[in-house]
Amino acid sequence: MSRKKSLVLTDHELRLMEVLWSKGEATVADVTQALKPPNLAYNTVLSTMRTLEDKGYVAHEETGRAFTYRPLVERDAAAKSAVNHVLTRFFQNSPNALAVTLLDDVPLRETDREQIRKLLARKTKARK
């Protein structure tokens, strides 16, 4: 029986998913080779790929003697899930509290400020 899909990827899982998202599909050997240091053992990558499959993030098909894995979850969907997890866990489901924390803590370039202004204007317009 499959486990329920986790809300967020661990750091370790995210490293492997980044390879799959960039390649589209890959064998365990391909993923192992594509990882940036620190290097991981083939068996570690294989075990993590199986975990990702149990969680519903990847699927595999047999190609010869190897399994070729492909992502089932888009990067944006995984990122939104992670943000929602942080929002729920640390900010009591308050997007305002999250936004204030982010904006208060980080220096913003003019292009960032302009993008935020446009987003707020669009959100304000949508409420009317």
DSSP designation for 36: P
Domain residue ranges of the chain, discontinuous segments joined by +: 11-71, 99-128
Rounded CA separation 95/90 (Å):
11
Extract long-range pairs of 4-7: CB within 8 Å, 24+ residues apart: 5/55, 5/56, 5/57, 6/55, 7/81, 7/82, 7/84, 7/85
The reported pLDDT for the residue numbered 106 is: 85
Q: Which pLDDT does position 7 carry in this prediction? A: 59
How far apart, in Å, are the Cα atoms of 31 and each of 12, 64, 70? Answer: 12, 17, 11
CATH class of 11-71: mainly alpha
| Rounded CA separation 46/74 (Å) | 21
Distances (CA, A) of 51 to 26, 115, 124: 16, 38, 42
- pLDDT tens column, 42-95: 999 999 999 999 999 999 999 899 999 999 999 999 999 999 999 999 999 999
Q: Considering the entire predicted model, what is its pTM? A: 0.78
Give the alpha-carbon dihedral of 28, 13, 105, 99, to 10 degrees.
Answer: 110
Residue 4 pLDDT exceeds 80: no
